[in-house]
Structure 1
């Protein structure tokens, strides 16, 4: 083909990465290509330029498609480009382009690559250059993925910060001005609200000053793993990558998973009509699938619940699980009422919303308010918009200040973890000394509604393992949630909570409350605070390892043990249990102590308060010697109370 017959289309392309790496901006490409055509004597018919688009396979390039259409219509017959990789970096796409050019009697000429498809040698060289170009893009992609993975693991999460978060030093951190909105979405959904109902409620309340809450917005929050601290990169691709614990969690993993289970069942207007205590907790002992639930109501209006597996034809009554659960459920309920319902929420608030973070966020919101005022003065928006934006920020400041005041109030209470142990001791003594009043105030498990029982089981139980004994289904093991029960174990290890163990008291099987080691000044303080309410006593016991026998020192044989605890830190002193004897402290009350309810002016503090450390007595008494042997026994079905 002669030069005077070449009607050229100049194709220019640049992506952000190309420009940063090679410095080939669109104007620079145009200037070089025009000089190249002038040197070759080519006629320039039109210009085609794609900005910010890579040459990867599958990317739509509008200008390149227009160029191909002009080739088909014979408007041009030659593509002029700076380099081959401006056209494509894929061998597959390149072979298709050569075929297209041959079919339309057209050509490609590159200014910098010596590529010219008018000859066989030119086509061969172009294929070699294309192989090198594709290898480079694949290596760049690998380096990008490695760099991205490292950044995500360091907490540099890509994309816009979601609701409840903001960025500090490029990392996601909790935004305390919006975090509670996220918590509320999950709580409402778990309680049975559909995402449509939540969005309508938020629009009615103008949450965060918005009236554009949509179903999709609520659903995107519920489905986002970032709220449990995890992140999925390439979530909608064929090969997503899951990263755990790369961001501060707003919601527990258990709550997040529970809401996903709820989502699978929840239609937009779904509401359960029956409450199954062990929903999603039971698996078939044969096929390991989640068991379904059903219920029947008899003529006496009593409802009976069952769990079943259709595939394995297994069915059993809920009572099978209830009977097993009953041996420790009251202890769990008492722990829940004292620790999780009262003390831990205060500790959690101090941990999740530290005072310095709240103060910092208040400063940020006040700065934001100043920026809004300046923007209004400079004419960025009208009076109505200014008032709306100002109201939103002022409301956020008010909420943060309220949280800060609550934190100050909690700090003023001077609450410490050993107050948990003190409250448990008081409850136990109330049960012994004020049993009638105790029963009236303490809600036993059997008096909880099914909804309340299901809530406790949901929060504490991970799953329940079942087994088949002949044709009968039996409970093999109950697995409690580690994230919920771990604080209980930590409190016990530190001596701030007790556990009940079966013991032989003389010849009578009973149970005794045990707690772990506390320094003398701490258990002494607890005893003296208890003495503000009751005439409690303290004595010592010796445990003989070889005999496996305790020897308690009581003044009266009808005394009631409140709690037993080691007087030394034997975990450190004797980790291998090689000592022959161990010293234990005993807190107890005498059965003959005079205590009359009618003599107490106000009984309520005995049940809903704990003695103030400032009002405690000065000393506690160690009593004399009366030996009663007490032997620990293993708890089993045969000797159960």
Structure 2
């Protein structure tokens, strides 16, 4: 076991007996020797407080832990590592993440034992209690600020600047805000407004191009007609996180950029559009969430076109096409499905009967090797026990015991690594199993409903990158969609 020894003294503890660096170092070294562990490194903090985890040697140790160079962290006392319950809980979480044990040389804090794990549970409970108390105090303070018409933190929204903790209008950005509301009331969609803003050279407060989410946030923020809203959040589809009785709205707090009536008209338009959310329209698209554009890498979503004659065209459209950042043509769902089934046929045909007849032979050989390795591992455990008995009876010396135990550990490590590689191979889906699933999917595909096809596609496919070559765009009757990449789960 590779052990890191963490040693710390703060300025006022330099002269205290038992806390000096040499004393801690000697005691910890003796402890490691008694446990037959290996010292990986010493991490010594001299004259450093434990008020937080921003300590050079502690950070160096955490880097070695994340690099999986350490198995155990050993300290003289718990307060050498930290004096904060929250910091301790976070450190123990990090240790657990990298399978590192924690132990104190003078206390019962040992995560390798049952009582040590009980301690960890108690620390977690204390940390949660402290976090919840802190959250309640912060929430109460913010609510009091809001009721006093004071802004409870957060960066200023687009259109405003923060001066002496108060919002003042940024006239350049305010022009963009008014333009967005005017265009939305004229019937333009959020994506179209984002494209127009970008073409006019407008940028967000961070200097980025406008997207639909930025337009949505502006159209839903009552700060633009002077109101302070707190503890209210809404998703893009209109779903509220907090109930109305939980949030606060105070009017006349900020300087105005638009009229209240303008804001309310925009909200009415948004409410009328919500019943026709795209997710409801495209819920039966077989490959939604799986398709990627071969030209730009963006996802492709379902898109429906209704003709006056009543004829409906179902397509997949690259999302960057809407933002005029990609020239990928719309792909009719029928041609995408046809390309998918043809790809399944190709894979099924390429699987020869010769490969099927020989598939079980290597599997039997691997199982036999697996059983032999497990038997050898059991023999190693028996030898270890016999050596310990021989040492206790005085038949061999300590140095010989350590040497022979070390040899056994090296062999055990090699055997365990081989066993793990076999376990990974057994869990992974073999090529033969994948082909069998593909053949079964292709067999029932013509008889499945759109919902069943979508379910099968999601179980089988992880990602499908598609494109329509330019020469195929003029072919109206039999377009050939190309599948550039087909990745399976």
| TM-score normalised over the length of structure 1 | 0.28
Greater relative CO (CA pairs within 8 A, separation 6+): 2
Q: Which has the larger radius of gyration?
A: 1
Structure number having the greater helix percentage: 2
| TM-score normalised over the length of structure 2 | 0.36
Structure number having the greater strand percentage: 1
